[in-house]
Structure 1
Amino acid sequence: MLHPMGRAALFSSALAVCHPLYAQPADPDPASSYTLTANATLASEYRYRGLMQTNRRPAIQGGVDFTHASGFYLGNWNSSISWLGDGNAEVSAPLEMDFYGGFRHAWGNGVNLDVGVLRYEYPGDYPAGFVSPDTTEVYASVGYGPLSVKYSHALTNLFGFADSKNSHYVELNGNFDVGVWGLVLNTHVGRQVVQHVDNGSYTDWKLGVTKDLGGGFSASVAYLDTNADRAVYTNPKGRYLGSATGFVSITKTF
């Protein structure tokens, strides 16, 4: 049984499987004060913080990022979704749109910092009384070499859970150069705490690899799982959203 949110209190973006990297804004060209990049992804499905967003169907995703030499950046990322309609037949909201901005800095000793704000928007048609899934989070990430720790804090209700302001997500990510075939090993574990929702908090984890194919293309494969409570994270169609799954995607960066 789903927590109230029109009976669809599910979550909606370090690969497309777990949302965008907010495209990890590229370092500006030394000859320019800013960099503008775009990305497009075709994924076997969209998972965010371990929970399915497209009911195990493929997802089309893409975004654009503006980065200034000072370290400030702005961006937008979008994905096809179905979780809102899967949870409530009166809802028509097939798109997630994310808008974010922040500041990042890397020191010569391998330490880096990234802080910002992220707004998740779900444009569409909703019945009267439906709790809006639109969510605003602030985040801060500190990294050293291949490891990073990130904290995200909800300033609003979290993805349609009523009275869930101040929910938060803590994650540890590691991306390690394997040293063969140009593979990068991707590891992730995260803990989502949902305020005032019985059994709404859970842990998710991921293990995968990314391969740079050249020409701006990259491919990813991953395995991910969660311990999300089935009573909370099963939609009205009887599908458990936190089940273990494999994932593949291909991304083009422009």
Structure 2
Amino acid sequence: MFLRMLLFPALLFGSGAYAQVMQRELGDFELKLATTPTRNMAQGLIQPARSGNFHGGLDLTHANGWYFGQWSPSVGITPGSQLEMDSYVGYAGTRGNGPGYEIGVIRYAYPYLKNADRHEVYAGLTLLGSRLGAALSRANDRADNTLLVDLGQRSPLNLDVTLKYASHSLNNPVSLANGRSVRNYNDWSLNLSRPWLGIRFDLSYSGSDLDNRGGCAVYSGQNAQCNDFLLLKMEHPLY
């Protein structure tokens, strides 16, 4: 209840068109109230989403590395939207000049949907410019395990290489139109990124093994597409 009461001042700032962050020092704690996510977890593997016009949350971090917070990607006050409350607690630290590490748990709660809540345990590691993140998610009807490997910039082309691999397991198999059924499937993605002449080039490839099994109708994973998908994106800031 305490977390929910603190959440509403951030939500009252308005919708995500104008992201706002209010930051305060409270003794050994740093408090952030914001209308845009202020933290990602497991070295970037878990990134809070924004699924509604009104969203916001809080994040409280102690000087010793402990943190907890709550984020609502949707307040559920617009037609067709549902209230979602994501609560998390974790610890992030380093060993002297050695690797950085993180561990925590996050719960996704949907107060007005039955059996929709799920929880996720996550961990992260940074070492020699590379990042490794892992998450195990459990819901009422499925389990998802995801691994992130970010190798950082690699010579000789100075490419930033990021890979994701996930396995998904359904509690009950789903029948397909071709007579087969799906209970387990995997998906993956590879991203190559490089800045050049003020332009950032991103080449992304994603796919899943459901593509070859005729099961894309039931796909629900980390990728936007079930089929093999290749995307080239170029970005240049205007100012």
For this structure pair, what is the TM-score category when the shorter chain's length is used for normalisation?
A: 0.5 to 0.7
In structure 2, the gaps of 5 or more residues are 1-22, 38-43, 154-158, 174-182, 235-239
Structure 1 residue 107: Cα displacement: 2.6
Q: How does 1:86-105 map to 2 (within 5 A)?
A: 93-105=81-93
In the alignment, which of 104, 121, 135 is matched to residue 138 of structure 1?
A: 121
* 1:201/1:74 CA distance change after superposition, 3 Å: same
Structure 1 residue 79: Cα displacement: 2.1
Structure with higher RCO (Cα < 8 A, 6+ apart): 1
In structure 1, the gaps of 5 or more residues are 1-25, 43-47, 82-91, 127-131, 177-184, 211-219, 249-254
CA deviation map 1:103-145 (0-9, x unaligned): 111233241110111111234456xxxxx33211111111114
Q: Give me the whole-angstrom Cα distance separating, in 2, the residues matched to 1:36 and 1:118.
A: 18
Quick check: 1:93–1:125 contact (8 Å CA) kept in 2?
no
In the alignment, which of 150, 161, 169 is matched to residue 146 of structure 2?
A: 169
Q: Give me the whole-angstrom Cα distance separating, in 2, the residues matched to 1:59 and 1:235.
A: 28
Question: Which is richer in strand?
Answer: 2
Q: Give me the whole-angstrom Cα distance separating, in 2, the residues matched to 1:71 and 1:99.
A: 17
TM-score (norm 1): 0.51
Quick check: 1:106 aligned with 2:94? yes
CA deviation map 1:164-206 (0-9, x unaligned): 34x3111113556xxxxxxxx8653211111256353211334
Partner of 2:28: 33
Quick check: 1:121 aligned with 2:138? no
Quick check: 1:227 aligned with 2:185? no
CA deviation map 1:197-229 (0-9, x unaligned): 63532113345689xxxxxxxxx9966552133
CA-based RMSD of the aligned residues comes to 4.8
Q: Which of the pair has more CA radius of gyration?
A: 2
Quick check: 1:189 aligned with 2:163? yes
Quick check: 2:167–2:184 contact (8 Å CA) kept in 1?
no
Q: Give me the whole-angstrom Cα distance separating, in 2, the residues matched to 1:79 and 1:247.
A: 26
TM-score (norm 2): 0.53
Quick check: 2:169–2:184 contact (8 Å CA) kept in 1?
no
* 1:34/1:137 CA distance change after superposition, 3 Å: same
Structure 1 residue 66: Cα displacement: 0.5
Identity across aligned pairs (percent)? 21
Quick check: 1:149 aligned with 2:132? yes
Q: Give me the whole-angstrom Cα distance separating, in 2, the residues matched to 1:199 and 1:37.
A: 39
Q: How does 1:175-254 map to 2 (within 5 A)?
A: 187-196=161-170, 198-207=183-192, 224-228=204-208, 229-230=210-211, 231-234=214-217, 241-242=224-225, 244=229
